[in-house]
Structure 1
Amino acid sequence: MVQRVWQSLYNPVADRVSWYTSWRHSKPDYVRQRWEGQSGIRPSGKIAVLVHFSTNGRFAGYFLYLLRALEEAGFSTVIVSNARQIDRDSLETVLPHCARVLHRDNIGYDFGAWRDGISLTPEIAGAEQLLLVNDSIFGPLQNIPEILGRCDFDKADIWGMTDSFSGKYHLQSYFVLVGSKALRSKIFTDFWQRLRYVSSKRVVIYKYEIGLSQAMLRGGLRLRALFPYRTLTKAVFDCALVGPPKGVHPLRDEYFDRLFRSVNAGHPLNPTHYFWEYLITDLEFPFLKRELVEKNPAGVPLLSGWRSTIEQSSDYPVDLIEEYLQSTAKDRVF
């Protein structure tokens, strides 16, 4: 109790200090090294900026799988790594499948990396689509060109996989596809030019993950998610109305009751955690969040079934996830 009170007092002060001292990070970019990839910027008009981080500087197997999927979907990918160092042998595995690799100081989290990737890729000015993506996801579990084909830019200018009402409405930033109208808008350009390299993750989430969507909405741009939160909460209500299946396991019964009460009360939930199984099995969602199987911060029950869920819904090589967890998991196993 004392710790929670202390955190509630400390966090706002720390966040404010982080924001007001971010002026110290005033370089135009924080890139230290650069390698040109073998694919270059292709004339497809589609560019992805893919953020990478690992403690050992390696590009894991699941990262390479994602990179190759983006290549097959027609994206020229610029990798921006926040790792302390780059493993040179591992680097050789990604260079054939990307346009370039930028290695930078880890300042500003993903948004700092996206800013540097955008500012150092002048070809984006003439692109038709820009994909902002990071390595916090395993996948794609499904055909990604087919899924992205559902992004109709006559209906929205910026598309995300999932959206959230936590804080304020926003597209979750792990996978955001920006169309040409938004790319060429002053509001989008100004957002990245004015972005600060902030050291607080909470500030980055509020000012930039939430702030990006809110700034675009204020600028008159239209945002949509392929797997909207409203669809997921409707499924919870539909299940409650017909009566959820009881007796599967007490933990699942208890969890559904807790889920329904939160949704009914209007409390926003992280869709990629709380609805992960429904997303994959019923909606053919293409990703599994890495943090879910590393830490399960929401306490989702029976999570150890993630392997069979993926194997039954996808041909994604589950061994890639197992390999990653073997090198990174600490004190928890799901």
Structure 2
Amino acid sequence: MTNLVDVIGGLRKDMLPQVENGALVFLNERGRQRWCIYAAYSPTSHVSDMVLTQLRAYRDAGFEVVFVSMSLTISEGDRGRIADVCSGLVHRRSSGRDFGAWAHAVRLLGHRLAGAESLLLTNDSMLGPFVSLEPWIDACTAREGLFGLTESIGGGSHLQSYFLIANGAQVVADTVGFLSELRLSHSKWLMVQRGEVAFSCAMRRKGHYTAAVLDHETIENALLEHPELLAELSVLEPGLSIGLDSDDPFRYRYQLRSRLFMRPLNPCHQLNSVLLRYFKFPFIKVDLVTKNPGMVPSAPDWRYFIGPDSSVTEEMIEDHLATLV
């Protein structure tokens, strides 16, 4: 019902005359062949220190970072802070969600993306990074293809779109082509289908290797090997283990695995503990902390994953969360 209301409301807005509203505020290229387009929105129109930390991490990894703000305004102070880190700034009206922001930026960048070696599409939907992003980026650029950090098998296997890297000139070109032809909508559900789900499918049809650093099976196997993680899942999703043969560990494992395929879980929500505790994942979803729609018991534990080597502090994350109110 929620999706139906979203689609109907979105389609009504889509029927109104659409005018692309936004432009490059500045662009100062450094001559790099890696590009990052970072989509962001703040209801308070403030760019937090945590967001700037993420932008620096991408810049230091060798990307030309283009910051796409969908906030109502950008203060002069924030423009200066963005200019210190980023190669470009786009200010646009919020439409089409993150894929709309990426598509708009791609059109504005135009020929500058021709021949680019890598294109990172990301956003401010994640808190962190708690650990260095370098090994995660390296894993996405070790070979040509389209890569994400995690995948979802709900609605068909597809990469989750908070962090996507197209690596290789032809992969970048086909990514630009997909974004250029993408039909935008004000409906969140439609944009997930047209953007996140369709993108992975389109790139596979093009013959590009498409994979997550942590795919479904990798995360699932880690879950099944750790009783503490299974205990949290049994509290979170009690129906998953009802009627399973607990006397036979091998049968229990495959029965539970079968149910996990039939009832796909969001790795960044229900399996968040697996990511953070077992894989030392660099991020945690903002809406898991602020909304926690699935009532994940470990959601408040994000503070314990900030270590002495983390580039963010607890205060930085709390200040960022305050900008979302």
TM-score range, shorter chain: 0.7 to 0.9
Are the aligned partners of 1:52 and 1:80 in contact in 2 as well (CA < 8 Å)? yes
Distance in 1 (CA, whole Å) between partners of 2:140 and 2:3 is 40
In the TM superposition, what is the alpha-carbon distance from 1:251 to its structure 2 partner? 7.0
Seen in structure 2, the aligned counterparts of structure 1 residues 245 and 157 have a Cα distance that, compared at 3 Å, is closer
Aligned residues of 2:43 and 2:324 also touching (Cα < 8 A) = no
> In structure 1, how many angstroms separate the alpha carbons of the residues matched to 2:51 and 2:311?
16
Aligned residues: 308
Report how far residue 97 of structure 1 moved: 0.7
TM-score normalised by structure 1 residue count: 0.83
For 1:235, give the aligned amino acid.
A
Q: CA deviation at 1:18?
A: 6.0
Root-mean-square deviation (CA, aligned residues, Å) is 2.7
2: distance between equivalents of 1:157 and 1:253? Answer: 36
Pairing 1:117-128 to 2, within 5 Å after superposition:
117-121=105-109, 122-128=111-117
Within 2, Cα distance between the matches of 1:9 and 1:323?
Answer: 35
Aligned to 1:30, which of 15, 21, 33? 21
Residue identity in the other structure for 1:141: F
Equivalent in the alignment of 1:140 = 129
Question: CA offset at residue 190 of structure 1?
Answer: 3.4
Q: Give the CA deviation at 1:147.
A: 2.2
Q: Determine whether 1:151 maps to 2:140.
A: yes
Distance 2:42 2:238 in 1: 37
Give, in whole Å, the separation in 2 of the partners of 1:124 and 1:153. 20
Secondary structure, counterpart of 2:224 in structure 1: helix
How far the C-alpha of 1:45 sits from its partner, in A, is: 0.8
Distance 1:282 1:168, change over 3 A: same
| C-alpha distance in 1 between matches for 2:61 and 2:287 | 25
SS at match of 2:29: coil
Q: Summarize the alignment of residues 269-280 of structure 1 with structure 2, pairs less than 5 Å apart.
A: 269-280=265-276
Q: Secondary structure at the match of 1:161?
A: strand
CA contact (8 A) 2:24 2:108 kept: no
Task: Please point out which of 271, 281, 288 is paired with 1:285.
Answer: 281
In the alignment, is the contact (CA less than 8 A) between 1:45 and 1:126 conserved in 2? yes
Q: Does 1:305 align with 2:295?
A: no
Which amino acid in structure 1 is aligned with residue 305 of structure 2?
A: T
SS in 2 for 1:234: helix
Amino acid at match of 1:149: D
Report the counterpart of residue 332 of structure 1 in structure 2.
none
User: Gaps (5+ residues) in structure 1?
Assistant: 330-334
Rounded Cα–Cα distance in structure 2 between residues aligned with 1:106 and 1:301:
33
Q: Structure 2 residue aligned with 1:109, among 97, 100, 113?
A: 97
- What is the DSSP-based 3-state SS (H/G/I as helix, E as strand, rest coil) of the residue aligned with 2:147? strand
Q: CA deviation at 1:275?
A: 1.8
Aligned to 1:229: 216
Pick one of 207, 216, 228 that aligns with 1:220: 207
Closer, same or farther: CA 120–319 of 1 in aligned 2, 3 Å:
same
Q: 1:70 to 1:9 in 2, by over 3 A?
A: closer
Q: Partners in 2 of 1:99 and 1:270 — Cα distance?
A: 33
Q: Cα deviations across residues 113-147 of structure 1 (Å, max 9, x unaligned)?
A: 10111111131112100000111112222222232
Amino acid in structure 1 at the alignment position of 2:149: M
Between the two structures, name the one with larger relative contact order (CA 8 Å, sep ≥ 6).
2
SS of the equivalent of 1:127 reads coil
Q: 1 CA distance for matches of 2:77 and 2:308?
A: 34
Deviation at 1:287, TM superposition (A): 1.1
Code of the residue aligned with 2:128 in structure 1: it is G
Cα distance in 2, alignment partners of residues 68 and 116 from structure 1: 22
1:254 maps to which of 235, 238, 257: 235
Tell me if the contact between 1:162 and 1:226 (Cα under 8 Å) persists in the aligned partners.
yes
Which of these residues, 168, 183, 188, is aligned with residue 196 of structure 1? 183
**What residue in structure 1 maps to residue 32 of structure 2?**
44
Q: Distance in 2 between matches of 1:220 and 1:252?
A: 36
Task: Give TM-score scaled by structure 2 length.
Answer: 0.85
Cα distance change, pair 8–75 in 1 and its aligned pair in 2 (3 A): closer
Q: Which amino acid aligns with 1:83?
A: S
1:256 to partner: Cα distance: 6.5
Higher mean C-alpha displacement, 47-56 vs 275-284: 275-284
Partner secondary structure for residue 120 of structure 1: helix
Q: CA deviation at 1:255?
A: 2.8
Q: 1:182 aligns with which of 160, 171, 191?
A: 171
CA deviation after TM superposition for structure 1 residue 174, in Å: 0.7
Does residue 1:160 correspond to 2:148, yes or no? Answer: yes
**Alpha carbons of 1:16 and 1:107: their partners in 2 closer, same or farther (altered >3 Å)?**
closer
Q: Deviations over 1:76-119 (max 9, x none)?
A: 10111111111222221111111111101111111111011111
